[in-house]
Chain A
């Protein structure tokens, strides 16, 4: 145990020295995408004299950043922005083309939990194998075995084959192994998408504990909610380039702007009405990302008409974090005729209501359709999925709605 004490002292010293835990300078990584890939020697021989042309795909260009010890650092970006490539470069899975990455301390060598778990083996065997794969010696793996099982709360299932585990249980096991590696720098790719709420909370408690010890966590996600809740700082990648680095508020704003800016190129829905943006605000007009249950709330979105439309209907769909539609506000139920809108006209739709939704995270999906068209036609002219987010706070009842209730208790 002396080594642990030393480890802790070592970490404290590093914190004092305030040297970055991770320092990345000018990191670039590209993949060659041959126009014609020859997978066999035969093909290669047949095309021996053909010029070998390929596209250079720049997955990452000149990335510079530093992460201080003990930071919870978010890496966000849309699909294909290079976040996972960056993580794989840092983990030593991909080689770096240009630039340097320096790491202070022991780096966790994996980016996904429970990699290499074999369903036919028991939890006991899997833990030992996984731990060795991730860099522990056989003896260290055995020594930490009990702690791993205890943290995962799976002591009773040690000799159960992994194929009989639920997916949540194996994630817990994988996370426990990862925690017990005692890495100074952890690389985490979207782990929190799995596991139940209680275990997620436990994970974040564990991350807090690690931070307190001066350990550093690099966290890849595209969930802005967890960025706001947990990250100290972060960066945004877009098409392989670093576009923003800073506090969570800046990161989430940049990320949303990126999503927004690409709307014009969105091949999905382009109709007569283009939805520019959406947000929530208080009745006083102050933009908010969270709302207290029971308060009045205004949900708003901006629409640009690209073709003249007569008397459209506006819809606003609220979906919770598992994608269920919880609440839909449809203008046609609450207004009379809205009249014609000219091409090029820009309008802001505000919908005010008392927020009865249960605590959760919600996304806003505005739609435009013909008035009276009903659900079949509600997005015929325009739709934009999950364009804004809202977190609702309040007492948890386990339901999706909390409606005001008059309670009478009559004593006999």
Chain B
């Protein structure tokens, strides 16, 4: 902090999304996320277990329903493992976006009293959910190994898939958190959208059970891309890759372009709204 204040006067600018100091921005994002993480786990006796309980409970219910009652997963190799893994990945997406929507309004006291890079708030939500995802994936891999699946080199694709998922979730979060400041019904709308996405994405089922006529369309869903490729890489090498499900490599450009677009639009909207967030709260 020696020369930063050096020569001439600095012109004041209003609040910005990222700020001038990238290191401070990342440090702040990390601190906010780590604090939330800590608060959630250290506040209660069972701590971390609670964050596992929800997906595991959901998993147990769905598992019983779809393997014992409806026999949905019949014919799908390692269906329970797929169900758990897809639930955990989808939970990351829904947790990030649903908590992200209200994140700016929730942090109103900070936004109205301190200058700091505004984008740190939604990003911290995303990062917090990522911590949870990392812990949940540990459980997933315990299940994977317990089911007798052999470790393979393809497992290394998983970080790439997670990165894809993070880009999508963060993009959506930036967009809807900034919009929520102006339009308070973004939250209920997004709740409904999440429900639709949950059933419209191969979480409970796999892409190959989708009727042929709409399979290509269903496979273009970026979340379906992540789950389908995850199934191929981690659980069942005989299952189709995301590229195969979507109808060839060239078609994969559609979901990738979509995710990139969501991220860029999300960032653009957020940066545009930034200067007036504090006064619109």
Across-interface contacts of A129 in B (CB, < 8 A): 31, 35
Minimum distance in angstroms from B71 CB to a CB of chain A: 42
Whether the pair B39, A93 counts as a contact (CB closer than 8 A) is: no
Kindly state whether residue B147 has any CB partner on chain A within 8 Å: no
A106 to B21, CA, bound (A): 13
In the complex, per-residue mask of B235-272: 1 if CB is within 8 Å of any chain A CB, else 0: 00000000000000000000000000000000000000
In the complex, per-residue mask of A125-141: 1 if CB is within 8 Å of any chain B CB, else 0: 10011001111011010
- Selected from B6, B11, B28, B279, the residue in CB contact (under 8 A) with A100 is B11
Whether the pair A42, B15 counts as a contact (CB closer than 8 A) is: no
Minimum distance in angstroms from A133 CB to a CB of chain B: 6
A116 with B110, Cβ < 8 A, contacts A31-B279, A125-B35 known: yes
Minimum distance in angstroms from A84 CB to a CB of chain B: 10
A132 with B28, Cβ < 8 A, contacts A31-B279, A40-B184 known: yes
Kindly state whether residue A351 has any CB partner on chain B within 8 Å: no
In the complex, per-residue mask of B1-16: 1 if CB is within 8 Å of any chain A CB, else 0: 1101110011111110
Minimum distance in angstroms from A116 CB to a CB of chain B: 5
A120 with B14, Cβ < 8 A, contacts A41-B186, A95-B276, A112-B113 known: no
In the complex, per-residue mask of B202-224: 1 if CB is within 8 Å of any chain A CB, else 0: 00000000000000000000000
Whether the pair A42, B185 counts as a contact (CB closer than 8 A) is: yes
Kindly state whether residue B75 has any CB partner on chain A within 8 Å: no
Kindly state whether residue B159 has any CB partner on chain A within 8 Å: no
Minimum distance in angstroms from A200 CB to a CB of chain B: 21
Whether the pair A137, B116 counts as a contact (CB closer than 8 A) is: no
- Selected from A93, A111, A121, the residue in CB contact (under 8 A) with B15 is A93
Whether the pair B109, A182 counts as a contact (CB closer than 8 A) is: no
* Interface bracket on B: 35 or more
Minimum distance in angstroms from A82 CB to a CB of chain B: 13
Whether the pair A19, B9 counts as a contact (CB closer than 8 A) is: yes
A112 to B11, CA, bound (A): 23
Across-interface contacts of B112 in A (CB, < 8 A): 88, 93
A107 to B39, CA, bound (A): 31
- Selected from B2, B9, B28, B35, the residue in CB contact (under 8 A) with A104 is B9
Kindly state whether residue B43 has any CB partner on chain A within 8 Å: yes
A308 to B10, CA, bound (A): 63
Tell me the residues in window 61-94 of chain B with beta carbons closer than 8 Å to chain A beta carbons: none
A306 to B43, CA, bound (A): 65
A107 to B114, CA, bound (A): 12
Across-interface contacts of B146 in A (CB, < 8 A): none
In the complex, per-residue mask of A70-108: 1 if CB is within 8 Å of any chain B CB, else 0: 000000000000000000111111111000111111110
Q: 4 other contacts beyond A92-B115, A104-B9, A134-B116, with CB at 8 A cut-off?
A: A92-B12, A101-B12, A116-B114, A120-B43
30 A–B pairs (Cβ distance < 8 Å), ordered by A: A6-B2, A19-B9, A41-B183, A41-B186, A89-B12, A90-B12, A92-B13, A92-B15, A93-B113, A94-B15, A94-B279, A96-B14, A100-B11, A100-B12, A103-B9, A104-B10, A106-B1, A106-B4, A109-B116, A111-B114, A112-B113, A116-B109, A118-B39, A120-B43, A121-B38, A125-B38, A129-B35, A132-B28, A132-B31, A134-B116
| Top 3 closest pairs, chain A to chain B, by CB | A95-B14, A95-B275, A92-B115
